[in-house]
């Protein structure tokens, strides 16, 4: 394309983006079409990728086409494999995209569609994508080293230790919080529970098919599994309508929690690969398909957003979770804007597959943009619901009341009209007994998704099928994260304990496997149990804790990146990572401080404990007080860890900037790329 035409095109994209952002930001008192969000995202992401990521590639990282990557130098056909950039992009996207970008925006929609959307747009372009991109490139230049190894080498021993603790903490809190989402989605839902239970025999059938009949044909097996899961969803309707079967699959939240804890332990400690590997493939297959389907559904339906741009809950009195727009909107949406967890993947498998340095831009920056697009779709799914319906689903009984009429009256009094009869009809339409108090984000997302799908494919008659398809998709995926996360946590604990006593570090020694699995499961199981027994739904305390720990991990990653950029002698460009780092420090430290010390009992852990201590002493109250104090200690511990890495990183940068230490980084020496030479002939 000729240059003048390109300039005109990019000016057009910028103007269209500005118009879309202005429309979503400035319209008040009238509903807007969801396509404005899509256009705003498309234009912002296109501009961010074209200009900002190119600037980072050229000036900050100086990507070198001539430099061989570890995939080329260390190629072994196992983990180091030079791979087509689009294939790596798909692989990386499949690893980073999870339930986070779906749940976070749904919860943050209590502030209205505007805060979450703007945070996703700006957070991704200037924060999340930058973090993923620079960590990926730095790992590539260090033979695919992990984030914790880079922290130890480039910042110091404390940095490495803190990064390790941050990673293990976030894994445990993440597993507890996401398990709670599954429990809330499946409690008293025979249809949903039946469908998820059926995925166990389906996975076994897939495993046998894969091993005995068609070795290695995973795609074909996943398609077979998908067909069987669709049949299970259809069968779930029968299960929910047959009294004797429905009784078996109607489970309370504590029962579901115990089953999930047992599942997590079995998945980590027992050799059940025949079940786990096919489930993993199946969940990835369903995830990629559903995201694609949701995107098509939104574009085909172009739904109207019923949620206002801003709600009255920007003041911090929201029923979904307590806390004002700053800082809580920014920790509620982590994945989708910036997620510390991505730094583990960007310094894990992906750097070992990249063929050329220049491809890190598309994979690191680009895949994160794709995930942010998923977050925008989740925001749309939540905001197409009537606000009254949204709050009825997402508000815990402890806030709006247990009885449907009372809950509906409370929500209507907030200015979001809803009736118990409307909610009853909606529950019937989606095949549930009730949709009141279904906290956690997953049911609200499923209703929104069912609304979009049923209006574009199949009509109202199949709304229940779409709803349970969405629930199955989220639950299946979260359960896969639970078993994979427990095993990753177990390996990390074994690695650490192996330094104390060698046999504990042996991944094949069964006593160590059982002990470390029990340790990891007990840790996240504690948080899950705490959430299940919490009278205000658990999400209010667990999701912010997860958001804080995830963003603190991003702070660690950005500390590592800023230190490396400074040591590369490019301190003048350090703002690229310092800007999101400064923002995250202010957000996470404010959120953590408020979660510990805020005088309002719905926000501050200690204030809540004090309130309970002042009431009549019961066993239940003592347990809740202990949980509050433990949450406060965990939050404080994470904060101290991050202060330590911030200090060590600042000192390291100061030593370089003041000339007390020679600039220099621990990169693998330059080796000329064979691929580059072949291309040049």
Q: How far is the CB of 610 from another protein (least distance, A)?
A: 32
Contacting residues for 18 by C-beta, under 8 A, at least 6 apart: none
Q: Could you tell me if 63 and 358 are in contact, meaning their C-beta atoms sit under 8 angstroms apart? A: yes
Q: How far is the CB of 236 from another protein (least distance, A)?
A: 26
Q: Which is nearer to another protein, 23 or 349 (CB)?
A: 349
Question: In angstroms, how far is the first alpha carbon of the chain from the final one?
Answer: 26
Q: Which is nearer to another protein, 175 or 314 (CB)?
A: 175
Q: How far is the CB of 346 from another protein (least distance, A)?
A: 10
The CA distance from 472 to 467, in Å, is 9
Please state the three-class secondary structure of 598-635 as a single string.
Answer: CCCCCCCHHHHHHHHHHCCCCHHHHHHHHHHHHHHHHH
Q: Which is nearer to another protein, 94 or 295 (CB)?
A: 94
The CA distance from 205 to 287, in Å, is 20
Q: Which of 112, 113, 263 lies closest to 182 in space, CA to CA?
A: 263
Q: How far is the CB of 104 from another protein (least distance, A)?
A: 9
Q: How far is the CB of 369 from another protein (least distance, A)?
A: 15
Axis-axis angle for helices 157-186, 253-269 (nearest 10): 130
Q: How far is the CB of 662 from another protein (least distance, A)?
A: 34
Q: How far is the CB of 558 from another protein (least distance, A)?
A: 17
Tokens 């943050």 -> residue: 108
Q: What are the backbone angles phi and psi of residue 111, rounded to the nearest 5°?
A: -85, -5
Q: Could you tell me if 670 and 67 are in contact, meaning their C-beta atoms sit under 8 angstroms apart? A: yes
Q: How far is the CB of 388 from another protein (least distance, A)?
A: 29
What residue ranges bind another protein (CB under 8 A)?
A: 77-79, 81, 83-84, 86-91, 94-100, 171, 174, 178, 210-212, 215-219, 222, 273, 277, 280-281, 284-285, 288, 334-335, 339, 341-342, 344-345, 348-349, 480-481, 484-485, 487-488, 491, 507, 546, 550
Q: Which is nearer to another protein, 395 or 550 (CB)?
A: 550
Q: Which is nearer to another protein, 213 or 647 (CB)?
A: 213
Q: Which is nearer to another protein, 135 or 464 (CB)?
A: 135
Q: How far is the CB of 374 from another protein (least distance, A)?
A: 12
Exposure string (b/e) for 379-411, b if CB count within 10 Å is 16 or more?
bbbbbbbbbbbbbbbbbbbbbbbeebeebbebb
Burial class (CB in 10 A: 0-12, 13-18, 19+), 513: buried
Q: How far is the CB of 248 from another protein (least distance, A)?
A: 31
Q: Which is nearer to another protein, 191 or 445 (CB)?
A: 445
Q: How far is the CB of 349 from another protein (least distance, A)?
A: 6
Q: Which is nearer to another protein, 146 or 649 (CB)?
A: 146
Q: How far is the CB of 87 from another protein (least distance, A)?
A: 5
Q: Where are the alpha helices (DSSP H) in 460-604?
A: 463-500, 510-533, 539-567, 575-597
Report which DSSP code applies to 669: P
Q: Which is nearer to another protein, 17 or 123 (CB)?
A: 123
Q: Which two tokens stand for residue 216?
A: 């290695």
The CA distance from 530 to 532, in Å, is 6
Q: How far is the CB of 360 from another protein (least distance, A)?
A: 17
Per the document, the length of the chain is 681
The CA distance from 398 to 30, in Å, is 32
Q: Could you tell me if 50 and 10 are in contact, meaning their C-beta atoms sit under 8 angstroms apart? A: yes
Q: How far is the CB of 334 from another protein (least distance, A)?
A: 8
The CA distance from 329 to 63, in Å, is 35
Q: Which is nearer to another protein, 168 or 384 (CB)?
A: 168
Q: Please enumerate, as own/partner, the contacts of 244-251 that have beta carbons within 8 Å and a separation of 24 or more.
A: 245/190, 245/194, 246/190, 247/190, 248/190, 249/190, 249/191, 249/193, 249/194, 249/197, 250/188, 250/189, 250/190, 250/193, 251/186, 251/187, 251/188, 251/193
Tell me the β-bridge partners of 672. Answer: 67
Q: How far is the CB of 649 from another protein (least distance, A)?
A: 23
The CA distance from 681 to 667, in Å, is 28
Q: Which of 46, 158, 10, 104 lies closest to 651 in space, CA to CA?
A: 158
Q: Which is nearer to another protein, 194 or 341 (CB)?
A: 341
Q: Which is nearer to another protein, 266 or 484 (CB)?
A: 484
Tokens 């496997």 -> residue: 513
Q: Which is nearer to another protein, 238 or 273 (CB)?
A: 273
Exposure string (b/e) for 249-275, b if CB count within 10 Å is 16 or more?
bbbebeebbbebbebbbbbbbeebeeb
Q: Which is nearer to another protein, 208 or 613 (CB)?
A: 208
Dihedral of the CA atoms 631, 636, 642, 644 (nearest 10)?
-140
The CA distance from 343 to 166, in Å, is 12
Please state the three-class secondary structure of 153-178 as a single string.
Answer: HHCCHHHHHHHHHHHHHHHHHHHHHH
Q: Which is nearer to another protein, 281 or 365 (CB)?
A: 281
């Amino acid at each position: 394309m000729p240059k003048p035409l390109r300039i005109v095109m990019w000016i057009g994209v910028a103007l269209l983006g500005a118009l879309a952002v202005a429309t979503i930001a400035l319209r008040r008192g009238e509903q807007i079409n969801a396509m404005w969000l899509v256009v705003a995202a498309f234009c912002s992401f296109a501009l961010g990728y074209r200009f900002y990521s190119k600037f980072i590639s050229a000036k900050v990282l100086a990507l070198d086409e001539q430099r061989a990557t570890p995939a080329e130098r260390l190629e072994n056909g196992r983990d180091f494999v030079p791979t087509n950039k689009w294939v790596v992009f798909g692989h990386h996207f499949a690893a980073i995209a999870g339930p986070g970008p779906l749940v976070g925006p749904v919860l943050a929609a209590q502030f209205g569609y505007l805060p979450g959307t703007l945070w996703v747009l700006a957070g991704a372009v200037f924060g999340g994508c930058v973090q993923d991109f620079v960590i990926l490139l730095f790992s590539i230049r260090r033979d695919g080293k992990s984030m914790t190894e880079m922290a130890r080498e480039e910042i110091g021993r404390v940095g490495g230790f803190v990064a390790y603790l941050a990673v293990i903490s976030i894994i445990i809190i993440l597993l507890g919080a996401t398990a709670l989402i599954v429990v809330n989605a499946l409690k008293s839902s025979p249809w949903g529970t039946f469908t998820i239970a059926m995925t166990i025999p389906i996975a076994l059938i897939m495993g046998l098919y894969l091993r005995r009949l068609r070795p290695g044909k995973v795609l074909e097996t996943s398609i077979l599994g998908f067909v069987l899961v669709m049949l299970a969803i259809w069968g779930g309707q029968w299960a929910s309508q047959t009294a004797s079967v429905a009784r078996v699959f109607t489970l309370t939240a504590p029962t579901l929690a115990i089953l999930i804890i047992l599942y997590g332990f079995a998945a980590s400690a027992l050799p059940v690969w025949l079940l786990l590997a096919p489930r993993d493939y199946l969940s990835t297959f369903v995830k990629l398909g559903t995201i694609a389907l949701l995107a098509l559904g939104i574009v085909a339906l172009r739904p109207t957003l019923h949620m206002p741009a801003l709600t009255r809950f920007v003041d911090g009195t929201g029923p979904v979770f307590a806390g004002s727009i700053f800082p809580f909107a920014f920790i509620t949406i982590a994945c989708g804007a910036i997620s510390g967890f991505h730094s583990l993947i960007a310094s894990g498998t992906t750097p070992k597959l990249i063929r050329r340095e220049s491809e890190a831009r598309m994979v690191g920056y680009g895949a994160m943009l794709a995930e942010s697009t998923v977050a925008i779709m989740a925001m749309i799914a939540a905001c197409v619901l009537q606000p009254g319906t949204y709050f009825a689903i997402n508000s815990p009984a402890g806030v709006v009341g247990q009885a449907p009429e009372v809950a509906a009256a409370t929500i209507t009094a907030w200015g979001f009209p809803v009736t118990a009869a409307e909610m009853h009809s909606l529950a019937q339409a989606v095949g549930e007994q009730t949709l009141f108090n279904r906290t956690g984000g997953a049911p609200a997302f499923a209703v929104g998704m069912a609304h979009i799908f049923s209006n574009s494919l199949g009509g109202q008659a199949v709304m229940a099928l779409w709803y349970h398809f969405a629930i199955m998709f989220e639950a299946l995926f979260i359960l896969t994260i639970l078993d994979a996360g427990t095993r990753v946590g177990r390996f990390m604990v074994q690695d650490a304990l192996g330094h104390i006593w060698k046999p504990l570090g042996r991944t094949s020694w069964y006593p160590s496997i059982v002990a470390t699995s029990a340790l990891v499961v007990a840790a996240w199981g504690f948080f899950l149990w705490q959430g299940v027994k919490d009278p205000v739904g658990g999400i209010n305390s667990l999701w912010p804790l997860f958001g804080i720990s995830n963003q603190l991990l991003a702070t660690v990653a950005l500390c590592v990146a800023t230190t490396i950029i400074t040591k590369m002698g490019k301190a003048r460009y350090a703002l690229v990572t310092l800007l999101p780092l400064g923002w995250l420090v202010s957000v996470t430290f404010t959120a953590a401080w408020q979660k510990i010390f805020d005088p309002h009992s719905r926000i501050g852990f200690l204030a809540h404990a004090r309130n309970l201590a002042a009431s009549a002493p019961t066993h239940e109250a003592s347990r809740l007080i202990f949980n509050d104090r433990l949450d406060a200690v965990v939050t404080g511990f994470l904060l101290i860890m991050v202060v330590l890495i911030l200090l060590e990183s600042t000192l390291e940068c100061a030593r370089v900037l003041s000339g007390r230490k020679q600039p220099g980084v621990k990169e693998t020496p330059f080796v000329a790329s064979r691929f580059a030479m072949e291309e040049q002939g």
